[in-house]
Amino acid sequence: MLVLVAPGQGAQTPGFLTPWLELPGAAARVAGWSDALGLDLVHYGTQADAAAIRDTAVAQPLLVAAGILSATALGDISPGAVAGHSVGEITAAAFAGVLDDTAALTLVRKRGLAMAEAAAITETGMSALLGGDPEVSVAHLEKLGLTPANINGAGQIVAAGTLEQLAALNEDKPEGVRKVVPLKVAGAFHTHHMAPAVETLAQAAADLAPADPTVTYVSNKDGQVVSTGAAVLDRLVGQVANPVRWDLCMETFQKLGVTALIEVCPGGTLTGLAKRALPGVKTLALKTPDDLDAARELIAEHANA
C-alpha cells in the first residue's frame, strides 16, 4: 500500500520551487495562486533568501503550494492513505479532496498569518532532540517548562517554548540525547503559545464547506483515521495549539499495511523518519522534478498493493 505524505514547516530551502515552475503550466498556476492570496509565491519560492521564507506567514502557504504542485505532477494517483506533518495536514486535506486547492491555500494563508501574530507575542522557538528515551526526554522537557510539540518517532522529539527555556535545554540535555538542533521556525508551534491563532482559524474554517475524504486520511493529532470532512477541518483548527504525533501516524501506516511512502516537495524529513521507523518500507522524497519518474515507478508497484 502506498502512503502519500506532506512535510511541515522547516522543510523549505531557498530556491526549492525553481525547477518545479519549469513544468508545463506550473508557473501560471502558481502565479494564479499568488494573485488569489496576495502573496508572491513565485518570488518566495525562487528568489527569496532563507530569512524571508522562514517567516511563518510565507513558509506555510509556500509549502502547501509546493506540495499540491508536486503531487499534481505525479498524475492521477490513488494512494492508500494520506497524511501531513503540521501544516502539511492542509496539503493532505487537498490530496484527500476535503478541500479544493483554492480553499486549502486560502486557509493556510490565514493560518500562517494568525500563527505569525501569535508568535510575535513572546519570543519562542523549537529544537529537535536527537536520540534518547522518549519517556525520559518528555519528563525532562516538562521539568524545564517546555512542551514536546512534535513526537516524531524514530528517536526524535521536538521541544518548543521560550528562547530562555530552549537555552536551558541546550545546557541541560535529557539523559541519552546526543544533540539539540534549533529548527528553522519562527515560534513555539503546537503549544499553548499558539492559542490566539485557534480562534482566528476557527472563524476562517467556518466559511468552508469540506467534503469527506476520498482516501484514508490519517490525523497527526493522534494517528487516527478521520472519515468526515467536518472532523478533518475541526482537527486542522485545533492542531495549531496541540502536539503533532507523527509517531502514531507511522504506527497507523504500519497497521494499514504500508509498503511504500512518497513525500511531496520539499521532501526529505518524513522519508528520513520512515526509513528508521518503518523498516522494509520503500521511501521516496520529491525534491525536484527529476524524482518524478522514480516516484511513478514506485506508485505503479505499490498503489494497489
| CA separation for the pair 84, 221 (Å, rounded) | 11
Q: Reduced to 3 states, what is the DSSP secondary structure of residue 175?
A: coil
Q: What is the DSSP string of 256-299?
A: HT--EEEE-SS-SHHHHHHHHHSTT-EEEE--SGGGHHHHHHHH
β-pair partners for 161: 125
User: Catalytic residue numbers?
Assistant: 86, 190
Q: Which residue has the cell 519549469?
A: 22
Angle at 259 (CA atoms; ends 257, 260), nearest 5 degrees: 130
Q: Reduced to 3 states, what is the DSSP secondary structure of residue 303?
A: coil
Four-CA torsion 165, 118, 35, 99, nearest 10 degrees: 90
Contact 260, 302 (CB under 8 A): yes
